[in-house]
């Protein structure tokens, strides 16, 4: 299914980021749905696959952001949907989640990584770049 | 002892004999006491004591010489006893010696024949006493040494730290109970075994390093993990007086509890950092969005963003305040003034303070007090207010619009009970168990937009404990929660 304009899904358990990310992406001309839990997002995506996902890392549990992208990659319908992680959870409990290159991104099953607060200029540029590449 | 004037006892029934001896011996510088029969002699000996020499006549009425000798000997094992008698029969002499006499002075005798044996007796007695003293001293020292040894080994064995001593030839020469407990299968390793039998490479390496280069009081210390516990191993050289290493002593101290505290502390700091970082990132993001000009054509959105930023900042400040209060309580710097008060006033004040917020959400907030509460509680008014503020604020936050929050207030002779009941979203048993933990927040689709610090209930719990009270939760998902605060009354 193709959308005109591209269809994006935003997942974050912080209501302010959810609201902010949704509005900024909408302002840039995308169609956006936002979800505060991984389960509600996955349910919605099964009905209507998005062109790109912007998600937080730290949600109900420590690694649910990774588990989320892993679940997506194992779903034949959703495996090609690009994932951008936007998180404040970069060094919680001694773990450093920051990817240090393409290899790390691949290991994390994600396409891009941003630290909160995100520079929307850079985020929008990345979204545009990925959508161009995938033809979304 | 030689300077002391020797005292001599003369026991003889003949007055002439007593006077003769007395005269001769006094002129030699001795102190002489005399008695006319055995009983009087024994009495004198017992009373005055410390005679160096006793001269005893064998043939006396009443208590005879042999019997007296025996008594004297029992009384003082050092006194030099001489028998004086005209009956110089061998068998009597033997019997007298057997009973403890030292020598024999046959009657009649010249002054010299008396003085020389007496001097000999005094000297031998002195030698005997000296020998005995030395013997006793030696025995005492041996005993002390033995005691000292068993004392040190008892102390070493009672130590909580593991102690292992290795000699220069890398043989294990000593280990205490703690060491055999700490190192697996160490008990099966006999003493004098080579260091390798320790079966624990990191420690062996440390000890070998210590033996190779003995310098300083502690030459190596390292953290070692043995059987899930963390030990600080300190190795010191055992040095001989000439400075050469005779071996090394390893001390293993269990620092697991310290390590756990350390981990808990860094986890807590990391949690605090995250809890501060999230709202700051949100505020920063909101301000960045406004400043970027993205909202310049949408005043309504701009205002919404700034209002949210303000709310997050306020919430962050509340959290920092809660955190400071909690830390102050933990370090004992939190002062509460407990006075006998009726807690009705702070309870009603907390209800009033939440009325507007409840009204905005169309939530019914009511006080239920079936009978006037008169009981006094030893409490800090502001703490009770803070507890109720938190409980009522939570009840409103986690209740859907049009819901109900009921504060019931009852008392009896031993306690005051304040229950805050809502018909809100409720909690699962797991959530109920964690709800007093620092930074714990129930996360589900109903709680996404509810701001909170995750510290309010932690604070409530600590404050309640400071008042010797209790706080209990009854909760069911989708039905609601009841928080019940119980405080003991005064008198």
Length of chain B: 491
Residues B453 and B397 in one domain: yes
For residue B199, the domain's CATH number is 3.30.450.20
**How, if at all, do strands B103-106 and B162-167 pair?**
unpaired
Q: DSSP code of B171?
A: B
What is the per-residue burial (b if ≥16 Cβ within 10 Å, else e) of B395-418? bbbbbeeebbbbbbbebeeebbbb
**Contact: A24, B448; criterion CB under 8 Å:** no
Residue with tokens 């503020």: B389
Residue-level pLDDT at A64: 55
Residue-level pLDDT at B89: 67
**Contact: A27, B267; criterion CB under 8 Å:** no
Residue-level pLDDT at B487: 93
Distance (Å, rounded) from C-alpha B53 to C-alpha B6? 8
Q: Which chain B residues have a beta carbon less than 8 Å from that of A94? A: 266, 270
Residue-level pLDDT at B178: 92
Cis peptide before A74 (omega within 30 of 0): no
Residue-level pLDDT at A62: 44
Residues B244 and B361 in one domain: no
Residues B477 and B345 in one domain: yes
In tens digits, chain B (491 residues) has pLDDT values of 445 788 999 999 889 889 999 999 999 899 999 999 888 999 989 888 789 999 998 888 888 888 899 898 888 888 999 988 776 666 777 788 888 888 888 888 888 888 998 999 899 888 988 998 998 888 888 788 778 888 888 888 888 999 999 988 889 999 999 999 998 888 888 888 898 888 888 888 888 888 877 665 666 678 888 888 899 998 888 888 877 778 889 999 999 989 888 887 887 787 788 778 888 988 998 998 899 888 888 888 899 889 989 988 988 888 888 888 888 887 877 778 888 999 899 999 999 999 988 998 899 999 998 888 888 999 999 899 999 999 999 999 999 888 999 999 998 888 999 999 999 999 999 999 988 887 787 877 777 667 777 888 988 998 999 898 999 999 999 999 999 999 999 86
**How, if at all, do strands B480-488 and B470-476 pair?**
antiparallel
Q: Which chain A residues have a beta carbon less than 8 Å from that of B289? A: 20, 23-24, 120
**How, if at all, do strands B339-341 and B377-379 pair?**
antiparallel
Cβ(A87)–Cβ(A57) under 8 Å? yes
Q: Within a domain: residue B331?
A: no
| Alpha carbon of A26: minimum distance to chain B alpha carbons (Å) | 11
**Contact: A16, B288; criterion CB under 8 Å:** no
Q: Which chain B residues have a beta carbon less than 8 Å from that of A25? A: none
Residue-level pLDDT at B144: 82
Cα within 13 Å of Cα(B457), Cβ side? 24
Cβ(B210)–Cβ(B217) under 8 Å? no
> Which helix (H) or strand (E) segment is B458 a member of?
helix B456-466
Residue-level pLDDT at B179: 92
Note whether B312 contacts A: Cβ–Cβ < 8 A. yes
Residues B219 and B277 in one domain: no
Beta pairing partners, B220: B235
User: Which residue of A lies nearest to B441 if distances are taken between CA atoms?
Assistant: A60
How many contacts, defined by CB atoms under 8 Å, are there between A and B? 65
Among the three residues B133, B167, B184, which one is the final residue of a domain in this structure?
B133
Distance (Å, rounded) from C-alpha B211 to C-alpha B170? 8
Residues B57 and B69 in one domain: yes
Longest CA span, chain B = 148
Q: Which chain B residues have a beta carbon less than 8 Å from that of A121? A: 292
Q: CB neighbours (10 Å) of residue B288?
A: 18
Residues B449 and B427 in one domain: yes
Note whether A44 contacts B: Cβ–Cβ < 8 A. no
Complex ipTM over 0.95? no
Q: Within a domain: residue B330?
A: no
Residues B286 and B409 in one domain: no
Residues B110 and B11 in one domain: yes
Cβ(A57)–Cβ(A91) under 8 Å? no
Among the three residues B323, B348, B379, which one is the final residue of a domain in this structure?
B323
Per DSSP, the three-state class of B234 is strand
Residues B351 and B456 in one domain: yes
Beta pairing partners, B224: B231
Cβ(B69)–Cβ(B42) under 8 Å? no
Residues B208 and B303 in one domain: no
Distance (Å, rounded) from C-alpha B299 to C-alpha B324? 37
**Contact: B301, A20; criterion CB under 8 Å:** no
Residues B129 and B16 in one domain: yes
Within the 51-90 window of chain A, which residues sit less than 8 Å (CB to CB) from chain B? 59-60, 88-89
Q: How many domains does chain B have?
A: 4
Residues B158 and B233 in one domain: yes
Distance (Å, rounded) from C-alpha B57 to C-alpha B82? 9
Q: DSSP code of A103?
A: H
Percent of chain A topping pLDDT 90: 21
Q: Which chain B residues have a beta carbon less than 8 Å from that of A10? A: none
Cβ(A82)–Cβ(A123) under 8 Å? no
Q: Within a domain: residue B44?
A: yes
Among the three residues B273, B299, B323, which one is the final residue of a domain in this structure?
B323
**Contact: B282, A117; criterion CB under 8 Å:** yes
Residue ranges in chain A whose pLDDT is less than 50: 1, 3, 62, 93-94
For A62-99, write each residue's pLDDT tens digit: 455 567 777 777 788 888 889 898 887 655 544 556 67
pTM assigned to the model: 0.55
3-state secondary structure B177-233: HHHHHHCCCHHHCCCCCEHHHHCCHHHHHHHHHHHHCCCCCCCEEEEEEECCEEEEE
Beta pairing partners, B55: B10, B82
Note whether B284 contacts A: Cβ–Cβ < 8 A. yes
For residue B111, the domain's CATH number is 3.40.50.2300
Find the domain containing B187 and state its range.
137-254
Exposed / middle / buried, residue B426 (Cβ in 10 Å: 0-12, 13-18, 19+): buried
């Amino acid at each position: 299914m193709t959308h005109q304009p591209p269809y994006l899904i935003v997942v974050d358990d912080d209501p302010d980021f959810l609201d902010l990310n949704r509005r900024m992406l909408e302002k840039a001309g995308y169609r956006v749905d936002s979800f505060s839990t991984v389960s509600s997002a996955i349910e919605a995506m099964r009905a209507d696959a998005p062109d790109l996902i912007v998600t937080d890392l730290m949600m109900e549990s420590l690694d649910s952001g990774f588990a989320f992208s892993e679940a997506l990659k194992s779903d034949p319908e959703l495996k090609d949907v690009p994932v951008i992680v936007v998180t404040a959870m970069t060094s919680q409990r001694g773990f450093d989640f920051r990817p240090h290159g393409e290899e790390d991104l691949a290991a994390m099953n994600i396409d891009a990584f941003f630290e909160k607060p995100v520079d929307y200029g850079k985020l929008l540029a990345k979204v545009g770049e990925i959508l161009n590449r995938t033809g979304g | 002892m030689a300077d002391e004037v020797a005292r001599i006892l003369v026991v003889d029934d003949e007055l002439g004999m007593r006077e003769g001896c007395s005269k001769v011996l006094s002129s030699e510088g001795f102190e002489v006491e005399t008695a006319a029969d055995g009983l009087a002699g024994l009495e004198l000996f017992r009373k005055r004591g410390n005679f160096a020499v006793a001269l005893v006549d064998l043939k006396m009425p009443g208590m005879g010489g042999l019997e007296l000798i025996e008594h004297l000997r029992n009384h003082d094992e050092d006194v030099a006893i001489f028998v004086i008698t005209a009956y110089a029969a061998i068998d009597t002499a033997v019997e007298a010696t057997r009973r403890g006499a030292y020598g024999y002075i046959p009657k009649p005798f010249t002054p010299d024949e008396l003085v020389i044996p007496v001097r000999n007796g005094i000297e031998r007695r002195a030698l005997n006493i000296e020998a005995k003293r030395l013997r006793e001293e030696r025995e005492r020292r041996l005993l002390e040494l033995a005691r000292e040894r068993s004392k040190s080994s008892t102390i070493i064995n009672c130590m909580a730290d593991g102690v292992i001593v290795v000699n220069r030839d890398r043989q294990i020469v000593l280990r205490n109970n703690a060491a055999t407990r700490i190192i697996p299968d160490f008990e099966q390793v006999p003493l004098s075994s080579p260091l390798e039998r320790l079966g624990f490479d990191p420690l062996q390496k440390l000890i070998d390093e210590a033996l190779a280069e003995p310098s300083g009081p502690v030459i190596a210390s390292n953290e070692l993990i043995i059987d899930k516990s963390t030990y600080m191993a300190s190795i010191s050289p055992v040095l001989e007086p000439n400075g050469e290493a005779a071996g090394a002593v390893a001390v293993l101290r269990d620092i697991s509890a310290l390590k756990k505290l350390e981990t808990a502390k860094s986890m807590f700091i990391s949690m605090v950092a995250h809890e501060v970082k999230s709202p700051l990132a949100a505020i920063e993001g909101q301000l960045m969005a406004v400043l970027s000009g993205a909202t310049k054509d949408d005043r309504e959105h701009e205002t919404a963003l700034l209002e949210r930023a303000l709310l997050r900042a306020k919430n962050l400040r509340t959290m920092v305040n809660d955190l400071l209060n909690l830390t102050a309580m933990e370090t004992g710097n939190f002062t509460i003034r407990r006075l006998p008060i009726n807690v009705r006033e702070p309870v009603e004040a907390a209800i009033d303070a939440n009325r507007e917020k409840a009204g905005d959400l169309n939530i019914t907030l009511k006080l239920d007090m079936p009978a006037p509460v008169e009981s006094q509680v030893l409490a800090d008014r502001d703490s009770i207010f803070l507890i109720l503020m938190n409980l009522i604020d939570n009840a409103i936050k986690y209740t859907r619009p049009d819901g109900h929050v009921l504060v019931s207030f009852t008392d009896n002779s031993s306690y005051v009970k304040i229950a805050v009941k809502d018909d809100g979203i409720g909690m699962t048993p797991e959530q109920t168990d964690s709800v007093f933990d620092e930074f714990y927040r129930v996360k589900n689709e109903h709680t996404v937009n509810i701001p909170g610090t995750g510290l309010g209930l932690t604070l409530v719990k600590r404050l309640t404990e400071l008042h010797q009270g209790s706080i209990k939760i009854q909760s069911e998902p989708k039905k609601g929660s009841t928080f019940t605060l119980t405080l003991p009354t005064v008198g």
